[in-house]
Amino acid sequence: MEELFASLVKDFVDETAPIAQEVGGLLLKLEGAWGTGGDAKPIVRAIRGGLHTIKGNSAMMGLGPIERVAHVLEDVCAQVEPRPSREQTLLIQLLFEGCDLLGVLIQAALAGSVDATSADAFVLRARASMDDATLPKAMPDSVEASPRAEAALAPPSAEPSNVASDDGRGTARIADRDVDDLLELAGETIVGQTQLARMHGRLARGQFEASDIVLMDQLLTELGRTTREIRHKLLRVRLAPIATLFRRFGRFLRDLARERGQVIELVIEGGDTAVDRAIISRLYEPLVHIVRNAVAHGIESADARAACGKPAKAQILLSARMREGRVQVCVADDGRGLDLRAIAAKAAAQGMDTSALSERDIQRLIFQSGLSTAASVSNLAGRGVGLDVVASVVQSLGGTIDVRGASGRGTVFVLDLPVTVSLQKALIFGVDSETFAIPAGFILDTMESREKNMQAINRVLLVSWRGDFVRAVDAGRLLGCQGLAQAWARPYAIILQAGNKRGALLVDWFSGVQEIVVKPLDACLASCRMVAGATVLAQGRVVPILDCVEVVRRTNVALLPESSNEAKVEASYDVF
């Protein structure tokens, strides 16, 4: 019973949270329409529709607090008029806050703890404000309620960005047509499997026919095609329109602009471009950084804009489009552009020779650590991360980032990204000048491999680890690297566990666990049993990801070379 309820709540959240987000977007539109004198009526109608659905859904689920907030917001909406005024601004501010609160409450429903206090406080305050807006004199007791209500409201509305974050355990929406396609493909694999089973039966009875090999060839080709198609279609399920990411910037920019007393318009293009939700969720932080930079360093004050003949309303463009099977995301502003001289001066101050650098080279310097624009372009504070961090996030997604700017005309950041990724945590290690990645799930421990920890018995190399002996192998030898170093010269050991088997890899160096993008290898590398895939590290370098099951298996059958080395090994470990 409880399970059923939990799944109902989940459905409720999945359905209602996007509506709350949508309403937030519509509010921005409404504000925009007021600014330009456009027709606000249909927008208000859409907002009321959304709120009504939220109210209905939450009433059905018995989520009283949400229902009450949605209800009062509907009432607020009813007072919104197509013409802006001071009171109206107050109302829309109320709607924004209420919408944030709805988002928070809906997510809280998932955890089963909808906070009735903050909801009721908001309802109270909303009623009071409505009276304020409509009646010149407010009733004293309702005014008193306001400060308390604000205090209760403060924490949830502080971080609206969390509402839509995707932690990888979200729910994907899938079109009926795609489900049908997948079912059909699954059916094809079953047919293929049945045919193979029949053939297997014949083979088992020894009734092999010459034509079978051709038939089998055909079956395998078809099965391969079908399974690839299934994978392709399933990957598409992971995709979401990038507008879900872009729209979050509407509110972000509005608040930022208000804070700084600027007028900034957000222009979104290509919002329907489909991108892996994993990318969308990891792209938010870098884009926030770029956008915040654009506002802080790029966009001039209204006076300065007027002085150079620019419209008072600044623009920030977020665009996405497909290009050669990849997604190109642009963040552009029409501000003052990059200050090349300041960047070059900063670089020179750090001892870099900038005399030979082209304009483009200097622009790209902003991606280097220690040369963040926050310090070089102006004194306006950036927050913590520099553009070097942005660049490395983009690279870890398998993408690249570039910037170009024209002095006085603006700056454009271009991110070139794959449509889809699968992320994994992995440890990077090196041996004989080659680099490899190990999925973190297989790693028990890392340690320094001192000689006194090692022992060779009958050509079996053992490392003592927590009072146990683990069979060890020189990673360079196992992986066929060309180096000359010997096992006992490796300074580190990585202890692996796959299934119930353990093994130790002796390596030259390793770095901490990091998130990597897993890329499959082409079928022509299927013979590489020890390699499960590849990843691209920050410097664009391709690194094979080891298949730990196979590596541990091999470690457990590996013997030291027969040559004179053994004598040396034994000699070295005699001490111990």
Question: What is the binding site for another protein (CB under 8 A)?
Answer: 267, 269, 315, 317, 319, 323, 326, 328, 330, 332-334, 360, 398-402, 404, 406, 409-410, 412, 414, 416-418, 434, 479-480, 519, 521-525, 527-531, 534, 536, 540-544
Query: Quick one: 133 or 316, whose CB is closer to another protein?
Result: 316
Give me the helix-helix angle, 116-134 and 86-111, nearest 10°.
170
| Per-residue three-class SS string for 105-139 | HHHHHHHCCCCHHHHHHHHHHHHHHHHHHHCCCCC
Judged by DSSP in three states, 316 sits in strand
Query: Quick one: 100 or 432, whose CB is closer to another protein?
Result: 432
Judged by DSSP in three states, 534 sits in strand
Minimal distance, residue 511 CB to another protein, in Å: 17
Backbone angles phi, psi at 39, to 5 degrees: -80, 115
Taking CA atoms, 115 is separated from 15, 69, 102, in Å, by 20, 12, 11
Query: Quick one: 134 or 218, whose CB is closer to another protein?
Result: 218
Minimal distance, residue 229 CB to another protein, in Å: 11
- Asked whether the CA dihedral 121, 122, 125, 131 is positive or negative, the reply is negative
Query: Quick one: 65 or 544, whose CB is closer to another protein?
Result: 544
Query: Quick one: 119 or 531, whose CB is closer to another protein?
Result: 531
The DSSP code sequence of 16-70 is HHHHHHHHHHHHHHHHHHHHHT---HHHHHHHHHHHHHHHHHHHHTT-HHHHHHH
Query: Quick one: 443 or 546, whose CB is closer to another protein?
Result: 546
Minimal distance, residue 478 CB to another protein, in Å: 8
Q: Where are the alpha helices (DSSP H) in 379-512?
A: 387-396, 475-478
Query: Quick one: 191 or 317, whose CB is closer to another protein?
Result: 317
* Residues 320, 414: Cα–Cα separation, whole Å: 10
Minimal distance, residue 420 CB to another protein, in Å: 11
Q: In what order do the strands lie in the sheet with 410-418?
A: 264-269, 314-323, 326-333, 410-418, 400-406
* Residues 326, 330: Cα–Cα separation, whole Å: 13
